Amino acid sequence: MMKKGSLMLGYQPHRGKVNFFRQVVISPQVSREDMDFLLDEIDLLGRDM
């Protein structure tokens, strides 16, 4: 996502489990379409791994 330039998304382990994506959204301007794009981008780029 960072190489493509589409997203900058954090990730971290949680209580001994593997890394997972963690997205904190605090802006009221973020729309449902923005969140759909985020999930679609994770899905699309994850298929190339």
Q: What is the DSSP string of 4-26?
A: TTS---EEE--TTSPPEEE----
Query: Do the beta carbons of residue 21 and residue 42 sit within 8 Å?
Result: yes
Q: What is the pLDDT along the chain (49 residues), one digit of tens a residue?
A: 777 777 788 888 888 888 888 788 888 999 999 999 999 988 998 888 7
Q: Which stretch of DSSP H or E encloses residue 36? A: helix 32-47
What is the predicted pLDDT for the residue at 45? 83
The pLDDT value recorded for residue 34 is 93
CA–CA distance, 39 with 34 (Å, rounded to integer): 9
Helix (H) or strand (E) holding 48: none
